[in-house]
Structure 1
């Protein structure tokens, strides 16, 4: 049975994923963590999905961790933090890192509150489109904690170190415009969901295999060694050259045709 805490609607190749706990401002309890994790895994297997738009129900993205819910007993905390090896991702980290690992573009729509764990999840997306009234905060230090949901994997790629430390030390709540200035969000719009849909449709004009290869290349090579960068670029390019979507892309450009792409190759 599918969880009602995360809704998934696929329309013309775009997967609309919505955190659906509006009465709690989409605060993250253990069940919501698990539902997000399952949704990411489901999307990874669906090669027909071309883009993801992630948002929150009720005019807010997420107010962060539902502290009362998680602290009722030790079991929820153990489920969130458990991992077999220190270098593996636990459940709390997978709900952020998992979006980066999807071989398709992910756009996060941020409206209203986006605090703590909400920011960590949003940092897993490739793009963040915020509403003008959005409020964001890396809030963990307020509770005597540090951000531990792998959001830093995205944060270190989009923001200077001093700005990241400033926001993390202070737990300040900032406006969408200030978040744009800092690099925390990609764009600010009156209607961010509408703009995210338009942008997803634009990205879908390119081969899904090309999009997968570009995302893999940039995410893996952004801070990797030159040797691994050269190797990964060459291997991905060979795979693209042997794929049918590369021929379709050329046909679309040369013939100005609307020939549809095939589903994404599995294994990216």
Structure 2
């Protein structure tokens, strides 16, 4: 990340992150992904506004599209994604956290979709993901006011699932990731798929999606290992097959 620039999303960083996520998505031996920023000042301050001042209109549109594509890539990563918010998360930074599955914030963090104060709107999924997470009226309020809220306020709004002291953020997040990773990786991936796809449709269709996702685990080696471990009263050794 780019500590001196509050980990802002430059074009170079966007390309690097996209390439890394493409690689991660193909690794069956990666069970859970943790996203965090460098240092304790910022998780991600959003778009690199200094870089943007040097761009023409076409370049700005291309960069905004890149940021949106990255957030979709995070959301669609097959593995569960935990955002460890180690500092400020404004604009695209908060949108990155919203594209993750679980959010853990350091207590000193500040969060907000602040784009309306800059004459624009959230353009990387914020207007869609935040209302789905916390409800329409509260999401509109935060975006209309461009309010910067504390980690505790974000917890009260339902934006983050946990708030911990900064000194405990890494250990807490790793423990949470390990708790997930002890389970069958195929199960984790299919749960994510079933929830993400099912929540965008009606209940009947969602249940059909769940059935399809369940069927992909039914004949796996991990399912047989889980049953054997239960019968033998031992910890299972899953291989993601």
Q: Where on the TM-score scale, by shorter chain, does this alignment land: which range?
A: over 0.9
In the alignment, the residues of structure 2 paired with residue 112 and residue 57 of structure 1 have an alpha-carbon distance, to the nearest angstrom, of 9
What's the CA shift string for 1:112-132, capped at 9, x where partnerless? 211111001111110110011
- Aligned CA-pair RMSD: 1.5
Tell me which residue corresponds to 1:79.
Answer: 62
- Post-superposition, which runs of at least 4 consecutive aligned residues in structure 1 deviate over 6 A? none
Pair 1:68 & 2:45 matched = no
Using structure 2 for the length normalisation, give the TM-score: 0.93
In structure 1, the gaps of 5 or more residues are 1-19, 82-89
1:129 aligns to what SS in structure 2?
strand
What's the CA shift string for 1:118-154, capped at 9, x where partnerless? 0011111101100110011111111111111023443
Alignment of 1:91-110 (within 5 A): 91-110=66-85
| Structure showing the higher helix proportion among its residues | 2
1:109 aligns to what SS in structure 2?
strand
Using structure 1 for the length normalisation, give the TM-score: 0.84
Tell me which residue corresponds to 2:8.
Answer: 27
Worse-superposed segment, 231-240 or 162-171: 231-240
Q: Which residue of 228, 231, 234 corresponds with 1:251?
A: 228
Alignment of 1:105-116 (within 5 A): 105-116=80-91
Count, aligned residues: 237
Tell me which residue corresponds to 2:97.
Answer: 122
Q: CA deviation at 1:234?
A: 1.6
In the alignment, the residues of structure 2 paired with residue 166 and residue 47 of structure 1 have an alpha-carbon distance, to the nearest angstrom, of 41
Q: CA deviation at 1:38?
A: 1.4
Tell me which residue corresponds to 2:145.
Answer: 170
Alignment of 1:166-205 (within 5 A): 166-190=141-165, 191-205=168-182
In structure 2, the gaps of 5 or more residues are none
Say if 2:91 and 2:113, in contact at 8 Å, map to a contact too. Answer: yes
